[in-house]
Amino acid sequence: MAENTFKVTIITPDGTVYDNEKVTMLVMNTAGGQMGIMANHVPLIAALEISTVRIKHSEGTDEVAAVNGGIIQFDGHNAIIAADSAEMPETIDVERAQKAKERSESAIAEAKKKHNQNDLSRAEVHLKRAINRLNAASKQRNI
């Protein structure tokens, strides 16, 4: 079974968020669309979107990680995700993420009212990150 698994490591500027050698499939959203990779997939480097990354295991269990941008490098046996920030669901403060979502929605409304494109763009990124964290927390509970 070892030949059907590969190692996944998720790193951020703050350190390693995830490290597992028994992954069977990784599904993520890249700048080019959704992508799934398995062991011995052709090598690749891709830019990641703000989204959840689904990590599948041979035991039938799945995990998710909230990844906020970055890149993935895969050589057929090792996947390294270098992310701006990333969290596993068990470390996500759902109440804090919900408040961040509400603040971002208010900031978007204010930026639209003032026709301030810079503030609007910034608030939209913050909203995507908050929603991504909430999605990762809820997906893990549903797996």
Average of pLDDT values for 10-14?
97
pLDDT tier, 60 (very low <50, low <70, confident <90, very high otherwise): confident
Confidence (pLDDT) at 1: 41
Domain ranges of the chain: 4-87, 92-138
Q: How far apart are CA 43 and CA 75, in angstroms?
A: 4
Fold for 92-138, please state it. Answer: 1.20.5
Give domain 4-87's CATH architecture: Sandwich (2.60)
Same fold, 4-87 and 92-138: no
Q: Which H or E run contains 81?
A: strand 78-82
Confidence (pLDDT) at 139: 80
* pTM of the shown model: 0.89
Confidence (pLDDT) at 58: 81
